[in-house]
Chain A
Amino acid sequence: MKSLKHIVRLNHCVVLILLATGWGYASQEATPTSPSNADAAGIKEFSDRAQEFVKLHHSVEAKLPKLKTTDVPELIVAHEQALARKIREARPHAKRGDIFTPNATEAFRNAIQKALAGPEAPHAKATIKQGDPLAKVRLLVNRAYPKALPYTTVPPTLLLNLPKLPNELAYRVAGHDLVLLDVKANLVVDYIPIVIP
């Protein structure tokens, strides 16, 4: 009985950590799986670093002319390219693992593994297959996501099990890699290789 109370208390702690790090989304049909404490710490590390990147993004973006919706595509393309260039210049030594740290990588691997082994796994796997999988694509940190390539759908039930991201960032699946993309700059911020089955 004592150990049961201990487990319940532990679960409450995990829930609090999850809420603090913005993990997951409650749904009646598909629910996120719970990470261990070590994984929650890895996710916290990831979230902190992602926030740092977003701060940098904002500081760079503030120096550019504000982009409003326009019927001149040249302005849209030029703004995206300028933003990407400035971010690249602001983090010239960016490399894989800066944001997906080893701890974070481990937490993501576990989360993805669990999500793709759960009840929604066949749907998630079908979604990846149903998109246009970029099997032989290897993206590079601080480089643009190739414009001519289609996006592979990130399985929605997988997204339920990954930390929420600020508006500037999104997860992408490229082949077997999970990519963290700056969507406004179309820039690869970081990625975890060979994590998607």
Chain B
Amino acid sequence: MRRLFLFLTIVFLLAPNPRADEFKFPLKSNSVRFAAIGDMGTGDGPQYEVSQRMVQSRESFPFDFVIMLGDNIYGSHDPQDFEKKFGIPYKPLLDAGVKFYAALGNHDDPVERMYKPFNMNGANYYTFKKGNVRFFALDSNYMDPKQLDWLEKQLRDAGTGEWKICYFHHPLYSSARKHGPATDLRVLLEPLFVKYGVNAVFAGHEHVYERIQPQKGIYYFTEGSSGQLREGGLDPSNITARGFDADRTFVLVEIAGDQLYFQTLSRSGNTVDSGMIQRQELSPSKK
């Protein structure tokens, strides 16, 4: 009986959300719209197919920029690799003026920070603001005291009253089989996220899609299947809110005021997850 229950739970978590295809973004004026992709830079067919799907999605959901969750360029980093694994697959988006903001993964060469289309401005970690959202792109390969100091200062200076979204490569929470959560990183980052009111965190590394139940009030997404895929790589746990490991995916996000709307699409265009997150203000004791 217990096994049957576990089996049904897993089937439920991995199955596409039947009502998700009805999901519609509010497309409010002045909202912040972006896509999130991770572990995509293979230069292989599936990466190109996902990018085509992103182009199609942009017709109904005109996002302005893309956050890259690492492993932007796999393998060699010869000049032609920048083209084959980034420039060519995303050319229609680049030509349309869509900006890309990269975080470094364990397969990335830090020279990528000098590549203008990645908008890293020569830094391994950086911050930028869009509307009422402050983004923090971190280098989780090398979370040294210098970066931690920088992050704390940036989070403190960002104050309250706007969204804070962090993204980096290694997930702090994960139910995937291959790597699992980066608990050492969590020991140092989570207290800062909680203290300064980070609302949502995006990561990659695991070649699956997973949304985690809020942890200490923070929403965690893993999107590591925008090029790579580890089929059956997810082992849903009690913290999994939704998981998908049967095809490549990418996430679309719209932030309008205090609401964050998200939709995760597969390469074939099916909605595998969607929903809305309400921004929580910091409790007075944490301010």
Q: Answer whether A and B are interacting partners.
A: yes
Contacts A77-B111, A147-B109; is A156 near B116 (CB within 8 Å)? no
Which B residues between 76 and 116 are near A, CB-CB below 8 angstroms? 76-79, 81-83, 106-107, 109-111, 113-116
With beta carbons under 8 angstroms apart, the residue of A24, A80, A120, A170 that contacts B142 is A170
Q: Is the interface of A mostly helix, strand, loop or mixed?
A: loop
Complexed CA–CA distance, A79 and B114 (Å): 11
Chain B contributes a number of interface residues (CB within 8 A of A) equal to 41
Whether A51 is near chain B, meaning CB under 8 Å from some CB there, is no
Which A residues between 135 and 186 are near B, CB-CB below 8 angstroms? 147-148, 150-157, 159-160, 164-165, 170-171, 183, 186
Identity of the chain A residue whose Cβ is nearest the Cβ of B120 in the assembled complex: A69
Complexed CA–CA distance, A74 and B82 (Å): 10
Complexed CA–CA distance, A159 and B109 (Å): 20
A70→B187 contact, CB < 8 A: no
Question: Total contacts A to B, CB within 8 angstroms?
Answer: 116
Contacts A27-B148, A69-B122, A150-B107; is A77 near B142 (CB within 8 Å)? no
Which residues in A have their C-beta under 8 angstroms from that of B183? 122-123, 126-127
A73→B79 contact, CB < 8 A: yes
B110 to chain A, nearest CB (A): 5
B107-138 near A? 1/0 per residue, CB < 8 Å? 10111011111001110000000000000000
B286 to chain A, nearest CB (A): 14
Which residues in A have their C-beta under 8 angstroms from that of B179? 130-131
Which residues in B have their C-beta under 8 angstroms from that of A130? 170, 179-180, 182
A67-78 near B? 1/0 per residue, CB < 8 Å? 111111110110
Identity of the chain B residue whose Cβ is nearest the Cβ of A71 in the assembled complex: B116
Complexed CA–CA distance, A164 and B142 (Å): 12
B106→A132 contact, CB < 8 A: yes
Which residues in B have their C-beta under 8 angstroms from that of A183? 110
B184→A126 contact, CB < 8 A: yes
A20 to chain B, nearest CB (A): 16
B115→A70 contact, CB < 8 A: yes
Which residues in A have their C-beta under 8 angstroms from that of B78? 77
Which residues in A have their C-beta under 8 angstroms from that of B106? 131-132, 150-153
Identity of the chain B residue whose Cβ is nearest the Cβ of A121 in the assembled complex: B184
B93 to chain A, nearest CB (A): 15
Which residues in B have their C-beta under 8 angstroms from that of A126? 180, 183-184
Complexed CA–CA distance, A90 and B286 (Å): 52
A12-35 near B? 1/0 per residue, CB < 8 Å? 000000000000110111100000
Q: List 19 A-B contacts (CB under 8 A).
A: A27-B148, A27-B188, A29-B188, A29-B191, A73-B115, A76-B114, A77-B78, A77-B79, A123-B186, A123-B187, A126-B183, A127-B183, A130-B179, A147-B75, A151-B106, A151-B107, A153-B170, A159-B145, A160-B145
**Which A residues contact B (CB, under 8 angstroms)?**
24-25, 27-30, 67-74, 76-77, 80, 120, 122-124, 126-127, 130-132, 147-148, 150-157, 159-160, 164-165, 170-171, 183, 186
